[in-house]
Structure 1
Amino acid sequence: MSSFPSDPIHGTHPDPIDHFDRLPDSLLLLVFNMIGDVKALGRCCVVSRRFHALVPQVENVVVRVDCVISDDDSSPSSSVKSRGSGPFTNLFRLVFGGIVKPLQALGQFLGPDRHSLNKTLTTSSSLSVGLGGGDDGEMDQGGVTHHSPMQVLRNFNELRFLRIELPGGELGIDDGVLLKWRADFGSTLDHCVILGAASVLNNVHLQVSEHGNDGFSINNINGDDNGSIPESFYTNGGLKLRVVWTISSLIAASARHYLLQSIIAEHKTLDSLVLTDADDQGVLCMNGDQLEELRVKPLSASSASKRTLVPALNMRLWYAPHLELPDGVVLKGATLVAIRPSEQSASKKEISDASWLSNAFEEPYGTAAKMLVKRRTYCLEMNSF
């Protein structure tokens, strides 16, 4: 990066030129925003004082969580869980493992007391420096410090777009089963879309019959007989299974929403927040209006656990025993559920089913949603929980 032009008179070399000094801050910030990843930004911090001054101004940050510690595993001697074991898994404490060096760099350059931080960082057995320079990190038995997203993000002053990625989806499902959800929240649930299938097959044509029932009342909404749910769906467990999928997805979404409160309160510049997982099982989204709504109107917490209270809901369900997609993928027992709070008026954010539901998922599952909403629609209701 440096050049040493010769002095034509004396034949000596002047001080090396740092070509980064020729780049404007705006261009460097553009590069940092394209990097996004908080670990990589931590490494950038050690390059120069100029870089350490610019990193806190990054607007677009991606935080990838390496492991999750449940609420019951908060002691230093507790084991670290790489992913949830079921829909009721605690998600309230997110931690980082294996990123000590980038966090050291961030703590060193972004912390309020650099001298004390340098002293702390020299002792590997007592690593407790987060991005904000605090001492609220936790160590496991191996001496590795774990940091919550709130700690790591503390000194990003201009944060606008934040994406947090969990190591895996928290819903434990059998191999071959498809279960995806997307939920939008303000201070409470705005709407949620769930897509499920008993199995996913490629280029296979099967004659399928589905099973089910659970005693829920389901009312037919106007539609023709094409795409009607077979009688066996009500009597052999199919409906019950899909109700479990729905409740589990809502619990997972409300638990994620609950843990975001402190981050949203601290970063008032946020315009977009996404909390997803490496398995692409569930996505929680909040836009600028929804983020501001949560700041103004605090969420209602569930009395049973640390998650947001799910309001009374209206749900629409579409079902196909056998759904063949244009690319040859076949979904057995394909189910789409669209969820909105009961109190939400019909005029509020009214979006056609085709656009709202199909845009919730990547292909080929967006196409699956478009195909399912053309079938007969069924209505369910669920109380607050």
Structure 2
Amino acid sequence: MSPLSSVSPEDLLIDHFDRLPDSLLLLVFNKIGDVKALGRCCVVSRRFHSLVPQVENVIVRVDCVISNDDSSPSSSSSSPSSSSDKSRNPFSNLFRFVFLGTIVKPYQFLTQFLGGPKRPSSSGSSSSSSSLFLAEDGEVDQGGVTHHSPTQVLKNFNEVRFLRIELPGGELGIDDGVLLKWRADFGSTLDNCVILGASSVVYSTKSANDSGADGFCATNNGGGGDDNGSIPESFYTNGGLKLRVVWTISSLIAASARHYLLQPIISEHKTLDNLVLTDADGQGVLCMNRDQLEELRVKPLSASSASKRTQVPALNMRLWYAPHLELPGGMVLKGATLVAIRPSEQSAVAMARKEVSDVSWVSMAFEEPYGTAAKMLVKRRTYCLEMNSF
């Protein structure tokens, strides 16, 4: 006898999904996370449609970033320019490097030297009839494609606790082979930012264990430096310093622009415990925990008068540099640079508590192998500088 012959017609009409408890379905939906996949789940049944808005873990992958201004996007990074005379480089005169623990003379940033963060534009020839874009709230119709903002899509969710938004790519246009990563934590303003950069990344067949006990080798490159972490003289004259200035300012502009766009989402979703805004390239990560999210709701951010981004406060920065940094596994960072940034007010409090030497938060900013690079760099000589609000 066939197994189906013993099944009554009434049994065939039973929706076996109804036998699953809501708690189990919500567990599955939270594992899915992706907002587009959850949207497809909504059309399966009325029950699914009623449960999806209760999902706590949501991932929003943005398809494109739409510019609201008419100006063409410009790259925020530039290649280093060669110069034999340090006095001809205006950036070398803006910075004053000193050892940790001494006073640094503040300077005023000249932001007109730098363009805004590069933002990829959307394509009207997309084959999809609907996609997610990052811009102001609402819908945009371009070439028959309807774009929905994350703010609009997230209105369908009532109990989001963990939100991850992923941009299609990093905002900063950098040359091939250049490494640039940043992580920033925000409340109502910048809490801290860590930037890791390298002028080039190569791979060596030589084991990192052969380079020394600490796993890296610092070369002089003819610049008068040594193995104790000093910056070689050539760093000031060949455009190396100027390039690091561009990296730092561009990363801060990108981070503050992302923070500004999150305002309506944070205001509307009171249940949020953790928010991460990253990109598919892994270039930058903006993080906010529950206390920081609540701080932004209570204390509105200060917007920059120049553009749609959060104003960056006066900052204290610490910089570490290695001409050649070899990591376990054979990855070699040339011109490796680590910059740790905090608002000046926080730095003053840390100094009063004698916590100025605590750099554990810096070494934990990146995933491997870049976390190892940060741990290596903080062992080297520290240079300090300050930056005015911009």
SS at match of 2:345: coil
The alignment status of 1:6 with 2:6, answered yes or no, reads yes
In structure 2, the partner of 1:376 is 381
Which sections of structure 1, spanning at least 5 residues, go unmatched?
75-80, 104-129, 213-223
The alignment status of 1:48 with 2:45, answered yes or no, reads yes
The whole-number CA distance in structure 2 between the counterparts of 1:349 and 1:18 is 65
Alignment of 1:242-257 (within 5 A): 242-257=244-259
The alignment status of 1:88 with 2:116, answered yes or no, reads yes
Indicate if the aligned counterparts of 1:318 and 1:336 stay in contact, CA closer than 8 A. Answer: yes
In structure 1, the partner of 2:59 is 62
The whole-number CA distance in structure 1 between the counterparts of 2:354 and 2:36 is 37
Q: How far off is 1:93 after superposition?
A: 10
Alignment of 1:20-169 (within 5 A): 20-72=17-69, 85-86=75-76, 88-89=116-117, 100=129, 136-141=138-143, 143-169=144-170
Which has the higher mean CA deviation after the structures are superposed, 27-36 or 64-73? 64-73
Offset from partner CA, 1:328-368 (integer Å, 9 cap, x none):
11110000000000011217896964531121111111000
Q: How far off is 1:236 after superposition?
A: 2.1
Residues 37 and 5 of structure 1, relative CA distance in 2, 3 Å threshold? farther
Alignment of 1:121-270 (within 5 A): 136-141=138-143, 143-203=144-204, 226-270=228-272
SS at match of 1:33: helix
Indicate if the aligned counterparts of 1:317 and 1:336 stay in contact, CA closer than 8 A. Answer: yes
Offset from partner CA, 1:66-111 (integer Å, 9 cap, x none):
111111269xxxxxx9x985461476999997664699xxxxxxxx
The whole-number CA distance in structure 1 between the counterparts of 2:363 and 2:160 is 29
Q: TM-score by structure 1 length? A: 0.78
Offset from partner CA, 1:29-59 (integer Å, 9 cap, x none):
0100000000000100000000000010000
Q: How far off is 1:6 after superposition?
A: 3.2
SS at match of 1:310: coil
Indicate if the aligned counterparts of 2:130 and 2:145 stay in contact, CA closer than 8 A. Answer: no
Residues 155 and 230 of structure 1, relative CA distance in 2, 3 Å threshold? same
The whole-number CA distance in structure 1 between the counterparts of 2:343 and 2:131 is 42
- What is the letter of the counterpart of residue 374 of structure 2? A
Residues 93 and 256 of structure 1, relative CA distance in 2, 3 Å threshold? farther
In structure 1, the partner of 2:112 is none
- What is the letter of the counterpart of residue 25 of structure 1? D
The whole-number CA distance in structure 1 between the counterparts of 2:121 and 2:289 is 23
Residues 364 and 352 of structure 1, relative CA distance in 2, 3 Å threshold? farther
Residues 84 and 256 of structure 1, relative CA distance in 2, 3 Å threshold? farther
In structure 2, the partner of 1:124 is none
The whole-number CA distance in structure 2 between the counterparts of 1:280 and 1:211 is 33
The whole-number CA distance in structure 1 between the counterparts of 2:74 and 2:168 is 9
The whole-number CA distance in structure 1 between the counterparts of 2:12 and 2:354 is 62
Q: TM-score by structure 2 length? A: 0.77
SS at match of 1:227: coil
The whole-number CA distance in structure 2 between the counterparts of 1:380 and 1:323 is 23
The whole-number CA distance in structure 1 between the counterparts of 2:16 and 2:355 is 53
- What is the letter of the counterpart of residue 377 of structure 1? T
Question: How many residues are paired up?
Answer: 331
The whole-number CA distance in structure 2 between the counterparts of 1:341 and 1:65 is 30
Which has the higher mean CA deviation after the structures are superposed, 232-241 or 147-156? 232-241
Residues 297 and 4 of structure 1, relative CA distance in 2, 3 Å threshold? farther
- What is the letter of the counterpart of residue 165 of structure 2? I
Alignment of 1:317-356 (within 5 A): 317-344=319-346, 345-346=349-350, 353-356=358-361
Indicate if the aligned counterparts of 1:203 and 1:329 stay in contact, CA closer than 8 A. Answer: yes
Q: Which of 297, 302, 314 is residue 300 of structure 1 equivalent to? A: 302
Which has the higher mean CA deviation after the structures are superposed, 85-94 or 159-168? 85-94
Q: Which of 310, 313, 317 is residue 311 of structure 1 equivalent to? A: 313
Q: How far off is 1:304 after superposition?
A: 0.4
Indicate if the aligned counterparts of 2:162 and 2:275 stay in contact, CA closer than 8 A. Answer: yes
Residues 272 and 198 of structure 1, relative CA distance in 2, 3 Å threshold? same
SS at match of 1:71: coil
Q: How far off is 1:374 after superposition?
A: 0.3
- What is the letter of the counterpart of residue 20 of structure 2? L
SS at match of 2:360: helix
